[in-house]
Structure 1
Amino acid sequence: MIADILGPFRDEALARGIPTGDVERWISIARPCATLTPSANGPVVARFGGPLMLPADAPDPWFPLVATIDCEALPPDATDLPLPPDGRLLLFAFPLADDPGVASAGEALHIPAGTTVEERENNPYFYGEVPDYDQVCRAFPQGELRLTTNVSLPHSGIKDIPEPPYSVPLPGHPRSEELVAVWWETRGKIASDGPLQIGGYGTDESGLDPVTSAAESAAEAERAGHRPAAEPPGTDDWVLIADWYPDIRGLEGTTVHWTIPRADLAARRFERTHVTTYWNP
């Protein structure tokens, strides 16, 4: 049970004088997530890099391949996402390509089980105007990724508003900022870290929720004509597909977020994925 796993968090929050009701409401929004690492003891459910295998009629991706998820190998309860039950989910991105309001920094593609595929050049496009592009791509990690199931709580406790004071606690959680501080303090006793996280809450060091920020970035991209327009869901309807923490020299402190409206994920509309990056050098 997630509530039992979060015992150290609950104990610390109560010790800081946060009322029981506030603590339990916060625990109720915890989400399961899958942490993928090369060194875990769990089953192999994904891999970094590797050959790029695509259907013959699929266009070349604009971004280099980061990881391939084996959807059937990933237990359904490892996350609370409506992921495909089979096939492979390919995650593409370049960690320096984020341009808010203009375009996504990557993409996602699901290839159903049984689809005939052929090997493609992994990185057919070269962005010569991006400094060190080729060097960064060559430094992308390679190899199998093993599963550890974990629990995730929000890393941000504020909501931006247009008027002073410009930020407020999350709706329904008046002690949200204090609870986030408790999570930062106790997380290491509860959950393990890894270079790739599937599901759960997004992480960065800016103090804002990266999923909400990505939803706002996608809306800006639609208004600029760089993303197909759709009936926009509220930012609360967006979910995190994955977080990647590149262990690449010169990109320390970078996080890449793949996000999507939950309804689009359930309908397998992966072209609606929006990818953002955050760099805190």
Structure 2
Amino acid sequence: MTDETVDRLKRFRAEATSRGLPSEEVEEWIRVALPAVYLAEGGDGPLVARAGGDPLLPHGVPKPSAPFVAAVDLAALPPGATGLPLPADGHLLFFADSEVSIKGQVPDAVMYVPAGTPTAPSPLEDSGRKPYRPRELRTVWHQPSAQMPESFAIDRWGDFPDDEHFELADELDDAWAHVGGYRPPWALQIGGHPVSPQNDPVHYARDPREADSSADGEDAGDWALLATWRYGDDVTELDSGVAHWVIRHRDLAARRFDRVHRYVEMA
């Protein structure tokens, strides 16, 4: 934990106390916060991720069924900053359409390319689908990521929290943002909790009634947000659109990216 994070938590506790918020819930808010990395355009640092354009794919690999979103250089991420069992190097490629979709498991939504693998640009075969705008992401933040208030309330008090529980979660969120816990400007988030205009994709994936049947009986806590992408204003099909990729920790550790769940939504 960095000195900056320790200081933020101290200020959050003080702010929450000044508002009369219950210390037990304050500590729970802190306990469930997760580390995350946020990437953005601009800056003069090393290239951490390349977004849009054509993907660089290994020879002979089948082309994914959705457009290329971004490729993250895993060796360029701050060590341990995501809290996820990611490979130490190589590139992680993300793919998603620009249409609202809740498909659950998508075998070709994420691809891992080990370091040193020969690759070449691979344009989309479907000429009717244009690639996303090319971008270079060189700005990096890493900090704790708090749950969305509704997600916190559901996890803390069950599927149907009372109104006062939702209000308390909102107050905790406001106190957190007041001391600098809000997300910085970003295009791609790795790890952490999702920010969603509709439904929490982690909650959706772990619900056996909504996810693929292989989720039945499995530990709900094993699900994690792998990444979230903000499409931006240049993708006119989506209003404040985001794509989420969700995976079980054990599948991530085993490099089973074919088991990723993908959700695309808009405000």
TM-score for the superposition, normalised by structure 2? 0.82
Counterpart position of 2:218: 233
Cα distance change, pair 202–66 in 1 and its aligned pair in 2 (3 A): same
Match of 1:226 in 2: none
**Alpha-carbon deviation of 1:98?**
0.7
Residue 220 (structure 1) shift: 4.2
Rate the CA distance shift 1:47–1:118 in 2: closer, same or farther, 3 A. closer
1:105–1:263 Cα change, 3 Å: closer
Tell me, which stretches of 5 or more residues in structure 1 are unaligned?
Answer: 129-133, 224-228
Q: Does 1:213 align with 2:213?
A: no
Paired amino acid for 1:233: E
- Tell me if 1:24 matches 2:27: yes
Q: 2:52 aligned with 1:59, yes or no?
A: no
Paired residue secondary structure (2:207):
helix
Asked whether the 8 Å contact 1:104–1:276 carries over to 2, the reply is no
Task: Show the 5 A alignment for 1:198-277.
Answer: 198-206=190-198, 208-216=199-207, 220=210, 222-223=212-213, 229=214, 233-247=218-232, 248-277=235-264
Name which of 113, 123, 145 aligns with 1:111: 113
Q: Alpha carbons of 1:184 and 1:42: their partners in 2 closer, same or farther (altered >3 Å)?
A: farther
Q: Cα offset for 1:105? A: 10
Q: What is the number of residues matched between the two proteins?
A: 254
The correspondence of residues 166-181 of structure 1 with structure 2, limited to 5 A, is: 167-168=160-161, 178-181=168-171
Q: What amino acid sits opposite 2:173 in the alignment? A: W
1:180 CA displacement: 4.3
Q: Which moved more, 1:42-51 or 1:108-117?
A: 42-51
Alpha carbons 1:214, 1:274 under 8 Å: kept: yes
Secondary structure of 1:21's counterpart equals: helix
Is this contact kept in 1: 2:102–2:262, CA < 8 A?
Answer: no
Indicate if the aligned counterparts of 1:106 and 1:274 stay in contact, CA closer than 8 A: no
In the TM superposition, what is the alpha-carbon distance from 1:192 to its structure 2 partner? 1.1
Identity across the alignment (%): 35
| 3-state SS of paired residue (1:67) | strand
Distance in structure 1 (CA, Å) of the matches to 2:236 and 2:45: 28
User: CA distance change for structure 1 residues 201 and 76 in 2, over 3 Å: closer, same or farther?
Assistant: same
**Unaligned stretches of 5+ in structure 2?**
none
Aligned partner letter, 1:241: L
Equivalents in 2 of 1:68, 1:145: separation in Å? 10
What does residue 79 of structure 2 align with?
A: 76
1:49 to 49, 52, 72: 52
Is the partner of 1:214 in helix, strand or coil? Answer: helix
TM-score (norm 1): 0.79
Displacement, 1:210? 2.1
TM-superposed CA distance for 1:230, in Å, is 7.0
Task: Supply the distance in 2 between the matched residues of 1:13 and 1:106 (Cα, whole angstroms).
Answer: 44
Query: 1:42 offset after TM fit, Å?
Result: 4.8
Residue number in structure 1 paired with 2:146: 153
Deviations 1:205-256 (A, max 9, x none): 33x4321113338x64534xxxxx5776322211111111111234222221
Which SS does the other structure have where 2:186 is aligned? coil
Alpha-carbon deviation of 1:10? Answer: 2.7
Q: Report the Cα distance in structure 2 between the residues aligned to 1:81 and 1:3, rounded to whole angstroms.
A: 21
> Residue in 2 aligned with 1:194?
186
